[in-house]
Structures are given as C-alpha cells and as structure tokens.
Amino acid sequence: MTKDLEPGARAPAFSLETGDSAKIASKDLKGKKIVLYFYPKDDTPGCTKEAIGFSEDIAKYKRAGAIVIGVSKDTPAKHQKFKDKHRLKVMLGADEDGQVVAKYGVWVEKNMYGRKYMGIERTTFLIDQKGVIRQIWRKVKVAGHAREVLDAVKAL
C-alpha cells in the first residue's frame, strides 16, 4: 500500500497468526520495543540465515526490552515447521492475505534474471514502546543484520 513509511511515523497496526496457533497483535505489545522483520519465504537460504541470526541474539533482544517478529506470507503451519527444523526462537507471523505486508510497503516488484514478479522486499522496522517507527532497514543484506538491529534496539 504505502512505501513512504519513514522513521517518526506511527507503525501500522497488525494482527498475525503464529505457527503455534496463537496470535500476535501490535495492540498487545504497547510498552515493548518491536523488531518487525519482513522476509520472502520460509526455509530459503537467506531467510533461514536471517531467522537464525535473530534467534541467536534473542536473549539480548529480550534484555533490551524488545520482541522480534518475522513476517512472511507463508502459512502458520509452514512457519511452525520452519521454526522446528531450525530451532528458531523468534516469533513468526503469517500474513497469508498480504494485508500487513501491504501496510508496511514491502510488497514490491522484483526482478530476477530478467523476470519481473511481485514479492516481499527484505525489510526490518524498529518500533518504539509508543508504536512509532524509529528505524527502517530496506533491501537488507543478511550478514551482520541481526547485530546491527540489536545495537539500534539498545540505543533506543
């Protein structure tokens, strides 16, 4: 929907099913820092590395008062399988209908080997305790990303 979200803007509300039959909603996370990261697809090499990176530092994120949520259009069941296979410690939200992806402006035209298609742009949003976006990382390169975001969380 909107690609023009910028730091200082109010984060769009979200409610997502997780792989463990629960729901996670922004309205229930008031007072917490939220790392909301969007990724293309469960169990692909880059997405797996990113999820493992966040999972390895999950205790540090919790100590810094943050919750980490990965979002893709995969189903809750696929998320659970992905979590179990790689022992992931991050929460994964299923946005099957793409509403949250659209609200955050990360559903974009991609181009691979000359083929154009629509997909999720790997993007991370850092949202403060009041629901305001403090930082955005677009077109994320996975290597070192989880640590970079952790530094920003600690500085918030």
Distances (CA, A) of 76 to 16, 93, 102: 9, 7, 19
Sketch out the chain's domains with CATH numbers.
15-155 (3.40.30.10)
pLDDT at position 2 is 47
- Residue 137: φ, ψ to 5°: -115, 115
Active site residue 47: yes
* Element housing 67 (H / E): strand 66-72
pLDDT at position 21 is 73
Tokens 């007072």 sit on residue: 31
* Cα distance between residue 107 and residue 120, in whole Å: 5
Question: Could you read off the pLDDT tens digit of each residue along the chain, which spans 156 residues?
Answer: 445 789 999 999 999 998 777 899 999 998 999 999 999 999 998 899 999 999 999 999 999 999 999 999 999 999 999 999 999 999 999 999 999 999 999 998 888 888 898 989 999 999 999 999 999 999 899 889 999 999 999 998
* Cα distance between residue 67 and residue 89, in whole Å: 11
- CB distance 86 to 54 below 8 Å: no
Residue 34's identity, in one-letter code, is I
Residue 46's identity, in one-letter code, is G
pLDDT at position 22 is 85
Q: Which two tokens stand for residue 142?
A: 């996975």
Tokens 């810094």 sit on residue: 64
Kindly name the residue from 5, 47, 68, 146 that is annotated as catalytic.
Answer: 47
